[in-house]
Structure 1
Amino acid sequence: MTYIVMLNWTEQGIKNVRESPKRLDAARKALEAMGGSFKDFYLTMGEYDMVAVCEAPDDAVLAHFILALGMGGNVRTRTMKAFPENAYRELIAGLS
């Protein structure tokens, strides 16, 4: 399953922004240990500081990862479940 994770640094996270790449590496390893992965990661301008495209076996795995990430105190997240194009097409085709 694919998820879009939008992240903002907390006050703690921005104070230690130079450590952010190391935190990203640790997050990537943590998600991989849970059976998931980061597909893409972006530093962004606008409402969110960063956006990640992640994959996980199910919602529970991603929820566990996001909760663990939040416990670090460096970021706050908003997560959306994403349906790839083929799933989108199947959903639309199944409408009556």
Structure 2
Amino acid sequence: MTTYIVLMNWTEQGAKNVRDSPKRLDAAKKQLGEMGGSFKSFYLTMGEFDMVSVVEAPDDAVLARFALMLGSGGSVRTRTLKAFPEFAYREIISSLG
């Protein structure tokens, strides 16, 4: 599984219907699970982004489809970062020579 950091902001529609946000999160967790992935953590945040989640998915294509599905709902906009765990970080750095 590949790890991704998903940064989210509510759209105007999402903010207007913020009380429905927990239901939308539950639906997103179910959808990603059906796609073979999972949420590892979720945070409401202060600052540039409204929410941040750490998710896992089988590959980039699955996560891309998931992010497009989230965006098409009209309540959030996402930015996705592919994350490398510490062991991969160490391997990448050590391969520099």
TM-score normalised per structure 2: 0.98
* Distance in 2, Cα, partners of 1:87 & 1:61: 21
Q: Runs ≥4 in structure 1, deviation > 2 angstroms? A: none
Deviation at 1:33, TM superposition (A): 0.2
* Distance in 1, Cα, partners of 2:83 & 2:7: 13
Give the % identical residues.
75
> Gaps spanning 5+ residues in structure 2: where?
none
Alignment of 1:14-29 (within 5 A): 14-29=15-30
> Gaps spanning 5+ residues in structure 1: where?
none
Specify the SS of the correspondent of 2:48. Answer: coil
- In structure 2, the partner of 1:93 is 94
Deviation at 1:17, TM superposition (A): 0.2
Deviation at 1:36, TM superposition (A): 0.3
* Distance in 1, Cα, partners of 2:49 & 2:70: 16
CA-to-aligned-CA distance 1:14-66 (integer Å, 9 cap, x gap): 00000000000000000000000000000000000000000000000000000
- In structure 2, the partner of 1:78 is 79
